[in-house]
Every structure is written in structure tokens, then in C-alpha cells.
């Protein structure tokens, strides 16, 4: 049997001053040319394992390292990190944070120069790498002017150019829109097929993982708890549930069909297989979607009237956008990167002003509100909660927001207590916010925002970087706040998470409003989705494959149409 490319033998590791091991008794082999997926809950040790592969752990971070890790037969402890770069290329999750040169081609050349590759060879490798990732035309561009997807492709090209035996990609698509994520995974498959490079890919993207990896490893508490073909792992729903891993939508749907006796086949993990299989099932019962709640009349709480925005450099980000958001709406804002979502959000928050048109709250121009007044009307939860944390305790963090208000004695304390209690943060009230998990830090920011009792809550990609449980917990909270009477506006790329939460969606493309409809209608407007390169969710694609007239949009709804016992139909319009 050939020697594996990577061999973890009883590897354990503790970061300095850490109370628990980040890796524990890891035994894992990766063979040459293999694509291995690595998944697990947030904090399960995925990134640490990646960083161990080129010696960054423990050489850069320190800490205690036990066991043996061999890459290409060499112990990672015996060679400095920069020497190991020749064999192992590491790509981190934030593409923009790893770009260091002034031009695209210099970015690729950087590692090659450090590895003392002759100039003529560098030129050749740049050509090959740029062609492989489709960036040849952008060679002279500054890397920071590229889109997120292009930046990640550039990071892959820079890694690939070193001709590594192994490429380690730590959540390579977590910050990308769906179109870019698909492109990155397609590129991984191509590089593997053409050049035989082995890949270790971490992430929470089950659909893409299922279509790409040959083996899937699950980490929990730093231990390997599963190491099997992706079919076996993704079909083990209890294992996934225990480890906060979202299975592919097609797998969930077929598991539910099997539960109802509609099929005896093992649930597929790839959509194309599911689409084929569902055509061979008996015809589903007809589906009557619940009647959508009619839009509220009266003055909208937030309105944009023919808003356009052109940035100082001439970039037109929004064009003639008219939108009304009513009280208690739960609005999902969808679109690819560059579609204008962030620009739109910044208009809601008065961080940008329209170059044409107007933005109003309750009929009054947004520009007439002072910062404290606006904060009491519109609460904003950013993608990175850490930027809003700057107090020594959770309690002080929430109370700090209230300093802008002139509250009667006792009212401040009452509000802090109420908010902390409602978000389950009372037990953590004396903890330092940065000592909490990412999910808890997000809740602290939400609590600080809620203390001002805003009517409108704006969430920017709140589920990015969260595992399934973390994402659900945050979305559950947004639903609760909506049910309590608040208007919620949420920007996300994770379409499959939205059913059961949002009741309305808008779709942006190139700064224009393409669609404004109920979530169900939006999910089934395949033409509009295609026009923005958004893929329908697995549940929607399967429903339409089963019967083009079906308008189910969750696995539960679709499975409910098969088998002997009809179930109550979905409640989200």
C-alpha cells in the first residue's frame, strides 16, 4: 500500500492558555490526489487541523503538540513553515485578507519568488495558473479591485502555482455568493482532475461538498468522529444533527420520503441523482399553498421612492428602486455580490444618501433623523458582531446603548434585565463579550440593539460562518422578534434557510429590483432566479421535477405529498 501523503498519528494539540485541546488523538490519512472534506460544528477544530498541515500549528501559535504529523514523509515539526509551503498550500476563508501584492500576477509570483523558482519558470507558471482560474485578462489588476469570487480564485491560483501536492482550503466559499461558490468548487474538481493535486476542504457547504469530495471527515471536539465516503456521512442524519452539520437538501427530502414509505432507495446526496429518482416515484398529491397574507395598507414603516445611487467613482449601485416595507414584514434581500444589497442596506441606515429619490421612515425623510433618533427606529446587526463590542461585560455592552437616551431612574436597569433575559444572556451578564462564542457574541450585539427598542431590525448575513445550529439559533431569534411585532430585514446568501422565517423576498440584480414577492413565489420564480444566477433550493428543484405545478418549498411539504398519510401543509406563504 502506498505511503499516504498526509498521516496524522495520535495528534493532539492545545493552544497556549487554552483549557481544552483543539485536536485530540487525531488519526487521519490523506492519499495523493484525493479530495477530502472536513466538516463539523463551529469550534470543532477544523481550522486548527488545517493549520497543522504546514506546521503553522504549533510553530506559529505555540502551545502543546502531541503525536506525529507527517506530510510527504516529513515531520511538520522538523521544518520551518516557509519550507513546507512548497508541498502544502494553504488558502484561508477570507479571500481579501490573504492578498498581499499590487497586481494579480505579482500575487501569484510571490510564493514562487520566495521558493527561489527561476524567473522564466515563474512566468510560465503564472500563465498556467491564470488560465486555470480564468483570470488571464485581469493580470494587471490590483487584487483588491477584484470581486470576492475572483479574489478567491486568485488565492487558489497563487496556491496552485507552487505545484503543491496538497491544497488545504479552509472554508473557501463561506464569504462568497452562491455563483462564486459554485465556481470555486468546479475549479477544485478541475485542478484535481488535471493536475492530481490532493485537496482538504473544510466548510459548511453540504451541496458543494457532496458534489466534490471523495471522503468526508467529521470533527467533534477536536476528535475525528466519522471518516467515510460523503454518501455514508450525509445519510447519517443523527450524526449530522449531533454535530450541527446541515445535510444536503436533497438528502433531507429523500430521507423524509423514505420515512413516509414513498421510496426504499438510500437518500441521494447529489441533486442530479435526486432529480432523476423523484421522476420515478408515484405522482405526488396536489398541493395548495397557504394563502399569502395580503400586504398591509397604510403608511409603510420604511419606503424607498425611485432611489438611485451612484458612487463618487461613477459606479451605479442602485437604479430607480422603489420599495415599501410594512410593519411586521420579514423581508429577505437576495442577490449575488455586487447586486446592490449592501448599498440598499446602507440607505436604510442613512450611511448613504440617494443620489436620486428619497428614503422615508413612517413617511418622514430619513435624513431628518439624528443618529440617536435613527438608532431607536432602525437597529443594525452587522455580519461581524465584534465591531460592535467594546465594553468589559455583557451587561455594560447592552447598557452602553442606553446612554444616548434620557431614561427615568430604574428604567435603564429594567431594560437591560429584560433584554438579557429575553435572549438568555442573564447568566453571561458579567462575562467579557470577547470571551463568548461567536453565536453568543452575535446575541450580545442583538441585545444591545434591542435595548433601544427599534421597530426595524436589519441583519446583514447573520448566518455566515455559523454552523447549522448557530445559524438556526440566530434565525429563530429573528423570527421571534418578528412575531413580537418588529419588522425584520435580512440579507443572506443562504436561501435554503429562509423558509419558515421570511415571508417576503426581494431580488436584486445590477442595482435593480428584479422581483418583490412572497418568499414562496420568489423561490419558484425560476426565471427570475436564473436571471441573477441564483440556483433554486434543492427542495424547490425536486418539487418542480416531480410536478412542474407544485409550489412546495420545504422538504417537509414535498414529502407530505407522498405516502399514505397526508400531513398538514406548510404554513409559510
Q: Which residues bind other proteins (CB under 8 A)?
A: 51, 54, 56, 60, 80-83, 85-86, 89-90, 92, 94, 96-102, 105-106, 109-119, 122-123, 126, 140, 142, 144-145, 158, 162, 312, 349, 351, 370-372, 374-376, 378-380, 382, 386-391, 400-401, 404-405, 434, 448-449, 452
Dist CA 14 CA 48 (whole Å):
10
Nearer to other proteins, 419 or 498 (CB): 419
Q: Residue 38 Cβ, how far from other proteins at the closest point, in Å? A: 17
Q: Which residue has the cell 418622514?
A: 364
Nearer to other proteins, 205 or 449 (CB): 449
State the DSSP code for 466: -
Nearer to other proteins, 196 or 372 (CB): 372
Q: Residue 138 Cβ, how far from other proteins at the closest point, in Å? A: 14
Residue 458's closest CA among 307, 331, 367?
331
Nearer to other proteins, 144 or 565 (CB): 144
Show Cβ contacts of residue 420 under 8 Å, excluding neighbours closer than 6 positions.
Answer: 394, 395, 398, 426, 429, 447
Crossing angle of helices 538-546 and 271-279, in 10° steps, is 20
Q: Residue 366 Cβ, how far from other proteins at the closest point, in Å? A: 13
Q: Which residue has the cell 477570507?
A: 94
Q: Residue 164 Cβ, how far from other proteins at the closest point, in Å? A: 11
**From the CA atom positions of the chain, what is the Rg in Å?**
25
Q: Residue 22 Cβ, how far from other proteins at the closest point, in Å? A: 15
Show Cβ contacts of residue 157 under 8 Å, excluding neighbours closer than 6 positions.
Answer: 108, 129, 130, 132, 133, 135
State the DSSP code for 556: H
Q: Cis ω on the peptide bond leading into residue 58 (within 30° of 0)?
A: yes
Q: Residue 250 Cβ, how far from other proteins at the closest point, in Å? A: 32
Q: Which residues of 462-486 are buried (b: 16+ CB within 10 A; e: fewer)?
A: bbbbbbbbbbbbbbebbeebbeeeb
Question: In 3-state terms, what secondary structure has residue 228?
Answer: strand
Q: Residue 484 Cβ, how far from other proteins at the closest point, in Å? A: 20
Extract the C-alpha cell encoding 508.
Answer: 436584486
The two most distant CA atoms of the chain are separated, in Å, by: 76
Q: Residue 374 Cβ, how far from other proteins at the closest point, in Å? A: 8
Identify the sign of the CA torsion 488, 510, 359, 406: positive
Q: Residue 512 Cβ, how far from other proteins at the closest point, in Å? A: 23
Q: Residue 104 Cβ, how far from other proteins at the closest point, in Å? A: 12
Dist CA 303 CA 483 (whole Å):
21
**Burial tier of 140 (Cβ tally within 10 Å: 0-12, 13-18, 19+):** exposed
Alpha carbon 491 to chain centroid, angstroms: 11
Q: Residue 54 Cβ, how far from other proteins at the closest point, in Å? A: 6
Nearer to other proteins, 391 or 569 (CB): 391
Extract the C-alpha cell encoding 231.
Answer: 454518501
Nearer to other proteins, 97 or 364 (CB): 97
Nearer to other proteins, 22 or 112 (CB): 112
State the pairing for strand pair 316-325/302-310.
antiparallel
- Quick one: which H or E segment has residue 398? helix 394-401
Extract the C-alpha cell encoding 77.
Answer: 515539526
Nearer to other proteins, 81 or 273 (CB): 81
Dist CA 205 CA 93 (whole Å):
13
Q: Residue 402 Cβ, how far from other proteins at the closest point, in Å? A: 9
Q: Residue 532 Cβ, how far from other proteins at the closest point, in Å? A: 21
- DSSP for 285-309 reads PP--PPPPPPPP-SS-SEEEEEEEE
Amino acid at each position: 500500500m502506498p505511503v499516504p501523503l498526509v498521516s496524522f498519528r495520535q495528534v493532539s494539540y492545545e493552544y497556549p492558555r487554552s483549557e481544552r485541546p483543539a485536536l485530540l488523538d487525531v488519526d487521519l490519512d490523506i492519499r495523493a490526489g484525493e479530495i477530502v472534506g472536513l466538516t463539523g460544528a463551529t469550534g470543532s477544530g477544523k481550522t486548527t487541523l488545517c493549520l497543522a498541515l504546514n506546521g503553522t500549528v504549533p510553530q506559529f501559535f505555540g502551545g502543546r503538540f502531541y503525536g506525529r504529523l507527517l506530510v510527504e514523509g516529513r515531520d511538520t515539526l522538523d521544518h520551518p513553515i516557509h519550507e513546507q509551503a512548497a508541498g502544502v498550500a494553504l488558502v484561508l476563508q477570507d479571500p481579501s485578507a490573504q492578498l498581499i501584492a499590487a497586481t494579480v500576477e505579482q500575487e501569484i509570483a510571490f510564493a514562487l519568488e520566495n521558493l527561489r523558482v527561476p524567473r522564466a519558470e515563474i512566468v510560465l507558471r503564472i500563465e498556467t495558473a491564470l488560465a486555470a482560474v480564468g483570470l488571464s485578462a485581469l493580470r494587471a489588476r490590483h487584487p483588491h479591485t477584484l470581486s470576492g469570487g475572483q479574489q478567491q480564485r486568485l488565492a487558489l491560483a497563487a496556491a496552485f502555482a507552487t505545484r503543491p501536492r496538497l491544497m488545504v482550503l479552509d472554508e473557501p466559499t463561506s464569504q462568497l455568493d452562491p455563483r462564486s461558490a459554485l465556481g470555486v468548487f468546479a475549479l477544485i474538481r478541475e485542478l484535481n482532475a488535471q493536475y492530481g493535486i490532493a485537496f482538504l476542504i473544510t466548510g459548511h457547504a453540504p451541496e458543494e461538498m457532496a458534489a466534490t469530495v471523495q471522503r468526508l471527515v467529521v470533527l467533534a471536539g477536536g476528535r475525528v468522529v466519522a471518516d467515510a465516503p460523503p454518501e455514508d456521512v450525509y445519510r447519517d442524519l443523527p450524526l449530522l444533527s449531533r454535530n450541527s452539520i446541515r445535510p444536503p437538501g436533497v438528502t433531507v427530502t429523500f430521507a423524509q420520503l423514505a420515512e413516509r414509505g414513498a421510496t426504499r432507495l438510500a437518500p441521494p446526496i447529489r441533486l442530479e441523482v435526486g432529480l432523476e429518482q423523484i421522476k420515478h416515484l408515484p405522482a405526488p398529491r396536489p398541493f395548495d399553498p397557504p394563502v399569502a397574507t395580503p400586504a398591509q395598507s397604510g403608511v409603510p414603516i420604511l419606503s424607498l421612492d425611485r432611489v438611485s445611487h451612484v458612487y463618487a467613482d461613477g459606479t451605479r449601485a442602485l437604479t430607480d428602486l422603489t420599495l415599501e416595507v410594512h410593519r411586521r414584514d420579514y423581508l429577505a434581500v437576495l442577490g449575488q455580490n455586487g447586486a446592490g444589497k449592501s448599498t440598499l442596506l446602507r440607505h436604510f441606515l442613512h450611511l448613504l444618501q440617494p443620489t436620486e429619490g428619497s428614503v422615508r421612515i413612517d413617511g418622514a425623510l430619513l435624513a431628518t433623523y439624528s443618529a440617536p433618533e435613527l438608532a431607536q427606529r432602525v437597529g443594525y446587526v452587522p455580519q461581524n458582531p465584534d465591531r460592535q463590542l467594546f465594553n468589559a461585560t455583557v451587561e455594560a455592552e447592552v447598557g452602553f446603548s442606553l446612554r444616548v437616551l434620557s431614561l427615568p431612574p430604574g428604567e435603564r436597569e429594567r431594560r437591560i434585565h429584560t433584554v438579557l433575559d429575553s435572549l438568555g444572556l442573564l447568566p453571561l451578564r458579567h462575562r467579557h463579550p470577547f470571551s463568548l462564542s461567536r453565536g453568543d457574541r452575535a446575541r450580545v450585539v442583538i441585545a444591545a440593539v434591542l435595548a433601544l427598542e427599534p421597530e426595524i431590525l436589519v441583519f446583514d448575513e447573520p448566518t455566515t460562518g455559523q454552523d447549522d445550529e448557530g445559524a438556526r439559533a440566530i434565525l429563530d431569534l429573528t423570527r421571534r422578534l418578528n412575531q413580537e411585532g418588529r419588522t425584520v430585514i435580512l440579507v443572506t446568501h443562504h436561501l435554503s434557510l429562509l423558509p419558515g422565517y421570511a415571508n417576503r423576498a426581494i431580488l436584486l440584480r445590477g442595482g435593480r429590483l428584479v422581483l418583490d414577492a412572497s418568499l414562496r413565489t420568489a423561490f419558484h420564480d425560476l426565471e427570475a432566479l436564473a436571471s441573477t444566477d441564483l440556483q433554486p433550493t434543492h427542495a424547490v428543484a425536486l418539487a418542480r421535477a416531480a410536478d412542474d405545478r407544485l409550489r412546495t418549498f420545504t422538504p417537509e411539504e414535498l414529502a407530505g405529498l407522498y405516502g399514505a398519510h397526508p400531513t398538514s401543509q406548510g404554513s409559510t406563504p
